[in-house]
Chains A and B, each alone.
Chain A
């Protein structure tokens, strides 16, 4: 199967990046203010992916279980940082909660898929673990950021309603319940929409990659089904964990909501 992969030469690679030059020129001429971002993102994409390619080559060749786990751990830390930076609300202890939810969801689902469905040999095979866990985590990371942003925005919007509920004897989880639901729903929307559109509107990245690499379309479809189901499973776990681990931080120990006026970080 590897023979059928069309290897892109370095000349073609640089030629392809010339396409980005057009976008950059347009932005520069029209003074769209995006030139810098276009250049930075292009260079980052180029450098990071090539570096990852070389790193994976090395990892596939000299893989040991601890080296693979080390790489996975580094990926969780990076994902935690990116997800936390995307959240606009300031929440104490956010990165710990995000780390736990990303770690649990991507490791649990990733290992179930790699060991139970793909049957990797050996069990720590980097060729399966790294891309699959990475794919799960990339998705979960975006979903968690969306869900947490929604959660805290929604709770602030419902502050007076929650005040009344707590005054009537509601516990924090009862007062926050509608916001928790809204946040989980918001986090789930993209992956569920992708699942509905898959195969009709879009061919997901992984299936496209396999088709380009010459795989049997039905085999590629089966792989993609597994991937989509595991992505939505991992997203659900990650969102639910992140939301439940963080909502209580906006309540006092006595169970009332810390609205904007009485937050310690907002004098």
Chain B
């Protein structure tokens, strides 16, 4: 069974009183351990689809499943703890890198979890090639690429099962974008999957690509694409 799947999703938005359909009755599945790309012309509704998957946008029809459990059985905040959307803007809170990384543990939804020690946080930073930055660095003194990776680490630190990345590498140079891709790929294991919106050339980390246009979602696996992992 797929870790995450969406069935018969229809999405639309209202424009001047008229409903415009972005996605019509589409289903898709994300397998554990894999990264997927979501591509399509701008304005086609990629971000809206990601928001809908995180229950941050109303959908007209359809249901989302995590491990076979429907989203209607979750509190929205509990669902978002497992299906975590990372927006394009890193939007870190004011303070240090540490303040941002422990932020999720200050939320009620993670109240039962022990917040991580500095050693564990340092390990996270190391995994993201951010060791030289350090936990005490104020986030206003991070570069764009560093901030994007801290935001990713913050989202991943509580181990959500599904990561939804909305062009987190859009504002980055090629090296930083590759570092972010590598980091995301390193997160994947038997209990995680990732769907990311990208406008860049394939970086080889994705095992499949969803293309969205005119309300239709089509899928091509990386093998068919000819891309090599």
Q: Which 5 interchain pairs have the tightest Cβ spacing?
A: A169-B81, A169-B109, A167-B85, A256-B56, A254-B76
Chain B facing A: main interface SS = mixed
- The answer to whether A161 touches B77 (Cβ under 8 A) is no
Q: Are A167 and B107 in contact (CB under 8 A)?
A: no
Say how far A174's CB is from chain B's closest CB, in angstroms: 6
| A163 and B91 within 8 A (CB) | yes
Per the bound structure, the CA–CA distance linking A168 and B57 in Å amounts to 15
Known interface pairs A267-B15, A267-B17. Does A166 touch B91 (Cβ–Cβ under 8 Å)? no
Whether, in the assembled complex, B35 has its beta carbon less than 8 Å from a beta carbon of chain A, the answer is no
Q: Does A64 touch B at the CB level, under 8 Å?
A: no
A262 to B104, CA, bound (A): 26
- Residues on A with beta carbons closer than 8 Å to the beta carbon of B158: 168-169
Measured between beta carbons, the chain A residues less than 8 angstroms from B85 are 167
Residues of A within 8 A of B (CB): 160-161, 163-171, 174, 252, 254-256, 262, 264, 267
> Which residue of chain B lies nearest to A174 when distances are taken between CB atoms in the complex?
B107
Beta-carbon contact of B155 and A167 below 8 Å: yes
Most chain B beta-carbon neighbours within 10 Å: one of A165, A168, A174: A168
B82 to chain A, nearest CB (A): 9
Q: List B69-119 residues whose CB lies under 8 Å from chain A.
A: 76-78, 80-81, 84-87, 89, 91, 93, 103-104, 107-110
Contact A160 B86 (CB under 8 A): no
15 A-B pairs whose Cβ atoms sit less than 8 Å apart in the complex: A160-B87, A160-B89, A161-B91, A163-B56, A165-B103, A166-B80, A167-B85, A169-B84, A169-B107, A252-B58, A254-B76, A255-B76, A256-B55, A267-B15, A267-B17
Contact B78 A169 (CB under 8 A): yes
**B226 at the binding interface (Cβ < 8 Å):** no
Residue numbers in B under 8 Å from A168 (CB-CB): 80-81, 84, 103-104, 107, 154-155, 158
Give min CB distance, B107 to chain A, whole Å: 5
Q: Which of A160, A164, A254, A262 contacts B55 (CB 8 A)?
A: A254
Do A164 and B91 touch across chains, with their CB atoms under 8 A apart? yes
CA–CA, A165 to B103, complex, Å? 9
> Is B107 in contact with A170, judged by CB distance below 8 angstroms?
yes
- Residues facing A in B144-194 (CB within 8 A) are 151, 154-155, 158
Q: Shortest CB–CB separation between residue A75 and chain B, in angstroms?
A: 40
Instruction: Pick the contact of A167: B13, B58, B87, B93 (CB < 8 A).
Output: B87
CB pair B80 A164 closer than 8 Å: no
What is the minimal beta-carbon distance from B7 to any residue of chain A, in angstroms? Answer: 19
Known: A267-B14, A267-B15. A167 touches B77 (CB 8 A): no
